[in-house]
Amino acid sequence: MKTIIKSEFTQQEIKKSNFLIYLVPFDDFNKIYEQLKLEHPKAVHIVWAYRYYNNFSANSRKSKR
């Protein structure tokens, strides 16, 4: 199993819309999510998803569109 160790960021412009893309360790997710909401109050969408394995190696997923 691969694990994200450090945060990564990139952005992309598509049809005059600017997309900010973050890849962060699971433990940093809530902090980064709240920070993005504060930094971009006019953002129309903040879309996120995550996947992790619990102590029993069961796959858990959650997302918001």
Q: Which residue carries 């997302």 as its tokens?
A: 63
Number of domains forming the structure of the chain: 1
Residue range(s) defining the domain that contains residue 26:
8-64
Rounded CA gap, 32 and 53, in Å? 20
- Assess if residue 35 is contained within a domain: yes
- Assess if residue 1 is contained within a domain: no
- Assess if residue 54 is contained within a domain: yes
**How does pLDDT run along the chain (65 residues), one tens digit per residue?**
678 889 999 999 999 988 889 999 888 989 998 999 999 998 888 888 877 776 665 565 666 65
Read off the pTM.
Answer: 0.66
Report, in this order, helix, strand and coil percent for the chain, each rounded to 5.
20, 40, 40
Q: What is the pLDDT of residue 1?
A: 61
Q: What is the pLDDT of residue 17?
A: 86
Find, among 24, 36, 26, 64, the residue nearest to 48 by Cα.
Answer: 64
- Assess if residue 2 is contained within a domain: no
Residue 55: CB atoms within 10 A of its CB come to 5
